[in-house]
Structure 1
Amino acid sequence: MKIVTLDAGTLPVELIKPDYCESWVYRASTTEHELLSVLDNAEVVITNKVPLRRAVLEKLPSLRFICIAATGYDCVDIDYCRERGIAISNVPGYSTRSVSEGVIASLFALRRNFNEYVRAARTEWSDSDHFCLHKSPLKDVQDATLGIIGRGEIGGAVARLAKGLGMRVLFGERPGQSVTREGYTAFNETLRSCDVLTLHCPLTPETREIINRRTLSQMKPGAMIINTARGPLINEEDLADALISGRIGGAALDVLCKEPPAKNNKLISLPHSNLIITPHIAWASETGVNNLIKGINYNLAGYFGGKVKNSVI
């Protein structure tokens, strides 16, 4: 039995080889052109973000099980695996607490202009005539309106935390859809009403670049955006332009369209005082990491025990 881990370097701790595993190929990273040689005769593969598409999968006759070290599974050709009978498991819900708390931390940082005041304390405070130094306005979180796109586990957890802070919460309906589901608000109305918009929907053809020049123009002037889901939900050029023009008051991005980003990425190099970019680590609190490792081990044990757990097919 051969198990291959393709991008173990995405985890801050090492996986432990199961007792029932005969051959464990543990790779920190794997490029797409290495896949065929690396996965030769492998029955099980563990991947986080390395894509497994039809062109590769059809040349791997021994492959029987894909364990995705994440909740999202857009990196795998689900339709082909269904045709071939390749089982797929993910790890649902492992990062709910970590990401939702990260969203609330970003929300406070944006509304309170932490970036600007931290910089000012180091560069301007010593020359101030007063004990305090006023820069951009400090906005309250209580009574602000939070728009949430996506009502899965994380979106729901963010809503509960936000309501506990006294925020008004709106769940946005899918773009272009009439409101038929209880507890939802029309997408355009959500954009117009929210002080902060946070994205928690999967990346699909319908949601790709859901935030773009047109939708940004519909948002309340000075509104803020948080994205901990998938980078391509946002058109980065359009967001950069909205930040530069002042149309959008700030953004906290834990994901970008290309990861790692190019050094000349427009958002990375943008000197905006209320732009926060973190390297895709909202999921990685101690609890999130522990939950993920347990989930991977649970899925592997399920497959080897003859019953696939957390199947996505």
Structure 2
Amino acid sequence: MKLLVTNKYEDNEISKLVNLGYEVIYMKESKAEVNNENKDIEVLVGYNPFNTLDISKLENLKLIQLSSVGIDQIPKDEIIKNNITVCNNKGNYSIPMAEYIVMYILNVYKNTKQMYENQAQKKWKLDINLEELTDKKVMFIGTGTIAKNAANRLKAFGVYVYGVNTDGRDVVGFDECISIENINEGLKKCDVVVITLPSTKETIGMINDEKLKTMKNGSVIINVGRGNIINENDLINNISKFKGVCLDVFESEPLNKENKLWEFENVTITPHNSWISDKNRSRTFNTIYENLENYINNKELKNVVNIQKGY
């Protein structure tokens, strides 16, 4: 069975895939094209070879295994048309992203940005306005693996954790869950709002002027989901009400130097960096290996994506 890989793996990792029974073909992702050698592949593993790789010419393609969680980059119409199964890398970036969330909540309430600025100026100045996380209310919009990992870590700080999902169903790790229909009730009372949602037709622009105005004065927003879930212009217009805004994702990336978000003291900007970890590579390969083993043995696949829903 032919397998096209567009991520770079070590020789011993490729050998493991060969030992499963695959004929492995490697092409650099940015230069991946259909040719006589790979035109009959059944499985594709990569992040985004689709700018140069025309999968409409891969008539035997049955499975795409992504190294990413998001699926914005895939040619959805072609995949649906040809009934191709897509699996993502769900869960493998959850730990570093959970740590990022906890870190930036602490950064806001412990005012570390000002501490660093004082140090750079060799200024010794006591800050008497620092706050504990004890009894803070944190609401996660989305109750997937990222939110669950972050919620579990925040419990150690004495935080009360809300989760928002489509129907308000209970999810282990959250003190209370509410439906997306009732999100405003949570926005009114929570100290921190964390967005972990994917980009779908339903979520684009969800956090708009009305939602931002509903949030508590002096609250905190963290977005590690997708940038287009927050209307950036509405956020800029409401920015002064927030104690802290931590953004790892944006409507357009990289963030334009002219964007006003760079200018606000209460905004922290990171370059879509929350998922990075020294353990990502091994976790990702292990997930891919397990799914490829399941596929070749006709077993159930992990992390199958619902293309229509977008996740």
Q: TM-score, normalised by structure 1?
A: 0.79
- The answer for the alignment partner of 1:104 in structure 2 is 102
Alignment RMSD, CA only?
Answer: 3.1
- The answer for the alignment partner of 1:215 in structure 2 is 211
Q: What residue ranges of structure 2 are gaps of 5+ in the alignment? A: 171-175, 307-311
- The answer for the alignment partner of 2:309 in structure 1 is none
Change (3 A) 1:193 1:264: same
CA distance in 1, matches of 2:113, 2:49: 33
Question: Which amino acid counterpart does residue 63 of structure 1 have in structure 2?
Answer: L
Q: Is the 8 A contact 1:91 1:295 kept in 2?
A: yes
Matches within 5 A, 1:131-170: 131-134=124-127, 137-170=129-162
Q: Is the 8 A contact 1:240 1:266 kept in 2?
A: yes
Question: Which amino acid counterpart does residue 249 of structure 2 have in structure 1?
Answer: V
Q: Would you say how many aligned residue pairs link Structure 1 and Structure 2? A: 289
CA distance in 1, matches of 2:36, 2:104: 39
- The answer for the alignment partner of 2:25 in structure 1 is 23
Structure number with higher relative contact order (C-alpha < 8 Å, ≥ 6 residues apart): 1
Q: SS state of the match for residue 291, structure 1?
A: helix
1:210 to partner: Cα distance: 1.5
CA distance in 2, matches of 1:159, 1:213: 27
- The answer for the alignment partner of 2:305 in structure 1 is 312
CA distance in 2, matches of 1:151, 1:121: 38
Q: Is the 8 A contact 2:139 2:192 kept in 1?
A: yes
Deviations 1:33-75 (A, max 9, x none): x8678997262333335668xx954344243321111233343
Q: TM-score, normalised by structure 2?
A: 0.79
Change (3 A) 1:284 1:63: same
Q: SS state of the match for residue 66, structure 1?
A: strand
Q: Is the 8 A contact 2:143 2:165 kept in 1?
A: no
- The answer for the alignment partner of 1:93 in structure 2 is 91
Change (3 A) 1:210 1:300: same
Q: SS state of the match for residue 58, structure 1?
A: helix
Matches within 5 A, 1:249-268: 249-267=243-261
Q: 2:242 aligns with which of 248, 253, 267?
A: 248
Q: Structure 1 residues 43-52 or 146-155, which shifts more?
A: 43-52
Change (3 A) 1:180 1:222: closer
Deviations 1:133-174 (A, max 9, x none): 448x32221111111111112212222222221112222355
1:216 to partner: Cα distance: 0.8
User: Are positions 1:113 and 2:111 aligned together?
Assistant: yes
Question: Which amino acid counterpart does residue 61 of structure 2 have in structure 1?
Answer: L
Matches within 5 A, 1:11-50: 16-17=13-14, 18-19=17-18, 20-27=22-29, 29=30, 41=39, 43=41, 44-48=43-47
Question: Which amino acid counterpart does residue 26 of structure 1 have in structure 2?
Answer: K
User: What percent identity do the matched residue pairs reach?
Assistant: 27
Deviations 1:181-200 (A, max 9, x none): 45323300111111110012
Q: SS state of the match for residue 286, structure 1?
A: coil
Deviations 1:269-290 (A, max 9, x none): x232232222222222223332
CA distance in 2, matches of 1:67, 1:181: 29
Question: Which amino acid counterpart does residue 309 of structure 1 have in structure 2?
Answer: L
CA distance in 2, matches of 1:143, 1:215: 23
CA distance in 1, matches of 2:195, 2:86: 26
Q: SS state of the match for residue 147, structure 1?
A: strand
Question: Which amino acid counterpart does residue 232 of structure 2 have in structure 1?
Answer: E
CA distance in 2, matches of 1:49, 1:214: 36
Change (3 A) 1:77 1:38: farther
